[in-house]
Amino acid sequence: MLTSLHLAIRSLRWYYGRTITIVLCLTLTLWLPISVRLILEQFQSDITSRARQTPLVIGANGSRIDLALHALYFEAIPPGVTTMGEVDRVNESGYGTAIPIHSRYRTQSRNQVDGVSIVGTSPEYFEFRGLNIAAGEPLTMLGDCVVGSNVARNMQLKAGDSILSAPRNAFNLAGDYPLKLRVTGVLAPGFSADDNVVFVDTKTTWVIDGIGHGHADLTKVQDESLLLSQDPSSVTASAAVLPFTEITEENVDSFHFHGDPATFPLTAIVVQPNDEKGQALLLGKYSGAENTAVCIKPPDVVNDLLDVVFRIERLIRLSAFISAIVTILFLGLVVFLSIRLRASEIQTITRLGGSRTTVISYLATETILQLLAATFLAIVAALITQQLASESLRTLLF
Amino acid sequence: MILIEGLCFSYPDGIFNLEIPHLNIPPEQACAVIGPSGSGKTTLLNLMAGILTVRSGVIKIGDAAVSRLSETARRLFRLNQIGMIFQDFQLIEYLSVIENIVLPARLASGKLPDTAVLDKAASLLSDCGLAGYANRRVTRLSQGERQRVAICRALIMGPRVILADEPTGNLDPHTAGKVLDLLLHQTAVHKATLVMVTHDHSLLDRFQQVVPFEQFLKAAVQGSDAAC
């Protein structure tokens, strides 16, 4: 055995070009399925753990997957919206606590970094996700925002800085105007989607929506041309009266909302049921066809999604299996040609008195050493790939 | 030392038949085997070494009837009792000089060579004028130096018989003479019997016995039915 090992090591070193080629071929063949498996396991672990922490989500009727991914990652925007009335309905039912999510806008790009989602929510969300302020203060006033740790790092933001919201449609002159958001705090890293967004109060998102606004007091304007009509009960202003695009301590009192708050839009509602019974009753409550909102269990939706992903993985595994067969055939050919090319060396060993077992053991040791080296390299490469690719894969999918 | 009686051999394809009714090579003698190419000289060495087996007849080396040993026994006999030298040296290029020399010892034991073997290899290298060459690659040696390494390898196990197949065939006359002198000297020092195939008739006067091979060669025939 030691003789075989000695001869094999010396031979592998001498024919290093052939050795490197074979080891690289085997490494690549092993790397693909190992990497896919590790990345998907990491991905599965990430996505299911966040889904499990989010028992129920209510949103407009439509794609369950879009709704779940929006509530979990703020990326896919559901085509429809639900209303603040549903939050009140859940809270009044006593079955659980509803946390509003309103995320239809993004910030403008900054520091050569693309804009990120602006998420309007209530203070309960931070407690629900276990998010803590690492620097600065929490949200205190309309127009305030706290930024996720990745956003703060990438956009170089800190408490006291400001960032602009991006209009959804640049040609809608009557629609949303950019709102200057004042950064009051930076969140501690949570290693989740919360690190990649800007949080504001839901009222601030409604201001961006144009539902709420602030402007000069029209009962005290000096310029009469700004008024179209005036009587003791109402004032009609001209379009020349522009709403404020920044909320300050001086103008915050002028901000007001038009309409019934129960009709104000939300893109999703995260619900924390009080118990299993509450969860079941809420699901039942929203199961009727007459409902304009739907209640979903994110873990179920994510499992459906993972089924699709793992079906793709089976295809990748099949392709890796085929490439493994090709590699084995290639390796067989290399070994066969190598034996023919080294017939003289093998003949020398035999003629000196080496047994057939010695020769086979020597050639087998060579192959095993190459396989071990390739397996080691493939595992190392797969672990590196897992580190680099798991985050990219999630970004790619959502 | 080497006794052949009624040897009969033919290859499966029946290209030629080799018949040796009687051949005796006394111990510690140097015997040259001469004959035209293809007459079966190398085949005879392979039969003596137990690499090939006879169809009939007996080959005895000392007390051992090589022709009647099992394959494993013939292999072990070859490792321990016979040193082989080839025309093309047959050194393993990825091993160093010392590793090539101790290879038979490694094949016999399956273990790392012990100090005694390494000391003997160093001594042989010194005797063959290759002191200081132990860790060199064999690919960096001249032809004459390679054949001297092959002689060291043949002697490492202290064999009773050395079978040399045209060991000077690839060497220039001057080097061939020096290598043969070394081979004869080392064979004598180690009290071994030398059987050497050669085409060089100018070297024959250095051997105690010369075996002309034409006498053993039966006319080439086709088909195994004509074989002995």
Q: Give the model confidence (pLDDT) of B3-32 as tens digits.
A: 999 988 888 877 678 888 899 999 999 999
Q: Looking at residue A122, what is its pLDDT? A: 94
pLDDT higher than 60, residue A241: no
Structure-model confidence comparison of residues B111 and A24, the more confident one: A24
Q: What is the mean pLDDT of residues A312-322?
A: 82
**Considering only CA atoms, which of A391, A395, A393 is closest in space to residue A191?**
A391
Q: Looking at residue A150, what is its pLDDT? A: 92
Place B223 in a pLDDT band, splitting at 50, 70 and 90: very low
Q: Looking at residue B50, what is its pLDDT? A: 92
Query: Where are any strands of DSSP class E within chain B?
Result: 2-10, 17-25, 30-34, 56-61, 64-65, 82-85, 161-165, 193-197, 209-212
Q: What is the mean pLDDT of residues B74-101?
A: 92
8 Å CB contact between B62 and B3: no
Interface touch A351/B84, C-beta < 8 Å: yes
Question: Is A243 exposed, middle or buried, given 0-12, 13-18 or 19+ CB atoms closer than 10 A?
Answer: middle
Residues of B in contact with A351 (CB under 8 A): 49, 51, 78, 84, 86, 90
- Cα of A283 vs its chain's centroid, Å: 26
Q: Looking at residue A33, what is its pLDDT? A: 82
Q: Please indicate if any CB of chain A lies within 8 Å of the CB of B94.
A: yes
Interface touch A3/B107, C-beta < 8 Å: yes
CA distance to partner chain A, nearest, from residue B20 (Å): 23
- Give the nearest chain B residue to A343 (CA atoms): B90
Q: Model ipTM?
A: 0.86
Among B88, B107, B112, beta carbon nearest to A349: B107
Place A226 in a pLDDT band, splitting at 50, 70 and 90: low
The string of pLDDT tens digits covering residues B203-215 is 888 899 999 887 7
Residues of A in contact with B159 (CB under 8 A): none
**Considering only CA atoms, which of B177, B204, B189, B195 is closest in space to residue B152?**
B189
Average pLDDT, chain B: 87
Q: What is the mean pLDDT of residues A164-179?
A: 70
Place A395 in a pLDDT band, splitting at 50, 70 and 90: low
Q: Looking at residue A227, what is its pLDDT? A: 61
Give the relative orientation of helices B115-127 and B143-155 as an angle to the nearest 10 degrees.
140
Average pLDDT, chain A: 85
Place B164 in a pLDDT band, splitting at 50, 70 and 90: very high
Interface touch B90/A348, C-beta < 8 Å: yes
Q: Which two tokens stand for residue A260?
A: 């019934």
Interface touch B106/A6, C-beta < 8 Å: yes
- Give the nearest chain B residue to A359 (CA atoms): B107
Contacts of A263 (CB under 8 A, 6+ apart): A83, A84, A85
**Considering only CA atoms, which of A304, A283, A303 is closest in space to residue A294?**
A283
pLDDT higher than 80, residue A270: yes
Least confident of A20-24, A326-330, A378-382: A326-330
Q: Looking at residue A339, what is its pLDDT? A: 82
Counting Cα atoms < 13 Å in the Cβ hemisphere of B51 gives 20
Q: What is the mean pLDDT of residues B125-154?
A: 90
- Residue of A352, A365, A366 to mutate when probing chain B, most B C-beta within 10 A: A352
CA distances to A296, B145, B150, B165, B205 from B89, rounded to whole Å, are: 81, 10, 6, 10, 24
Structure-model confidence comparison of residues A151 and A252, the more confident one: A151
Q: Please indicate if any CB of chain A lies within 8 Å of the CB of B69.
A: no
The string of pLDDT tens digits covering residues A339-386 is 888 888 899 999 998 888 888 998 899 989 999 999 999 999 988 888
Q: Looking at residue B219, what is its pLDDT? A: 43
Q: Looking at residue A47, what is its pLDDT? A: 80
Interface touch B78/A352, C-beta < 8 Å: yes
Q: Looking at residue B1, what is its pLDDT? A: 79
Q: Looking at residue A100, what is its pLDDT? A: 95
β-strands B17-25, B2-10 pairing: antiparallel
Q: Please indicate if any CB of chain A lies within 8 Å of the CB of B79.
A: yes
Among A348, A353, A355, beta carbon nearest to B92: A348
Structure-model confidence comparison of residues A219 and B97, the more confident one: B97
Beta bridge partners of A213: A256
Q: Please indicate if any CB of chain B lies within 8 Å of the CB of A347.
A: yes
- Neighbour order of strands in the sheet with B161-165: B82-85, B161-165, B193-197, B30-34, B209-212
Domains of chain B with bracketed CATH: 2-219 (3.40.50.300)
Give the relative orientation of helices A356-397 and A2-14 as an angle to the nearest 10 degrees.
60
The string of pLDDT tens digits covering residues A128-169 is 999 999 999 999 888 999 999 999 999 999 999 999 998 776
Q: Please indicate if any CB of chain A lies within 8 Å of the CB of B112.
A: yes
Q: Looking at residue B32, what is its pLDDT? A: 93
Torsion of CA A63, A65, A66, A68, to 10 degrees: 120
Count contacts between A and B (CB, < 8 Å).
59
Among A14, A352, A355, beta carbon nearest to B104: A352
Q: What is the mean pLDDT of residues A294-318?
A: 85
pLDDT higher than 90, residue B102: yes
Beta bridge partners of A55: none
Distance CA A194, CA A394 (A): 14
Residues of A in contact with B86 (CB under 8 A): 348, 351
